Amino acid sequence: MMRSRTGQQHVRGQGTALAVVVAAWASSVAWVASPWPAAPAAQQSPAMPPAGAAPVSEPPEAFRRVCIKCHTSDRVVQGRRFRPQWEELIEQMVSRGAVVNDEDFEVIIGYLVSEFGRVRVNTATAPELASVLHLEAAEADAIVTARRAAGRFADFDALVAAPGVPVAALTTRRDALFF
């Protein structure tokens, strides 16, 4: 035990460890609680896809009004997510103060799923495949039909080897596929 200049006794090192823990906690609380800065006007365009990826459509007005109000579009779409993950993210933003009515919620989710969604190839319905992969209904139906006939697809190569599947469209949105 040591005595400090104020005359209080303490164990050596205990004060330092406690100070480190308190500082780490305070900085994490400040980071989580702080609002994200508004996006500069030059950064409010939709996220650009990587080279060779499918082009991203222009975001709807609801997305611009609600999401880009606080974040850059690149921040919002930092990777592909499944529909429930996008829904959870929007719910988190609402809990933090974002104002989203039911109509805007559906428009925003529809845009995010269509442009930045992921799809489980072996369990998705034809409409889910069509939405995320930008397929015609007949192309999505061909995937479901091939899956029913041959069973689960092991990987991308097995998928594109199936008869009637749109290889070019699937190649463009390959990063949206989950097996």
- Tens of pLDDT, residue by residue over 130-163, are 999 999 999 999 999 999 999 999 999 999 999 9
Lowest mean pLDDT among 21-30, 104-113, 130-139, 156-165: 21-30
CATH number of the domain located at residue range(s) 41-116 in this protein: 1.10.760
pLDDT of residue 115: 94
Contact 121, 129 (CB under 8 A): yes
Contact 143, 162 (CB under 8 A): yes
Q: Kindly calculate the radius of gyration of the chain based on its CA atoms and give it in whole angstroms.
A: 24
Decide if 41-116 and 119-178 have a common fold: no
What's the whole-number mean pLDDT along residues 62-85?
A: 88
Query: Which ranges of the chain does DSSP label H, i.e. alpha helix?
Result: 14-33, 61-66, 73-76, 83-95, 102-116, 126-133, 137-150, 156-161, 167-172
C-alpha to C-alpha distances, 35 to 26, 88, 98, 137, nearest whole angstrom: 16, 18, 11, 42
The mean pLDDT of the chain is: 78
How many Cα atoms within 13 Å fall on the side-chain side of residue 44?
A: 16
Report DSSP state, residue 38: P
Tokens 């428009």 locate to 107
Report the alpha-carbon distance of residue 165 to residue 52 in Å, rounded. Answer: 20
Domain boundaries, the chain: 2-33, 41-116, 119-178
pLDDT of residue 55: 66
Architecture of domain 119-178 in this structure: Orthogonal Bundle (1.10)
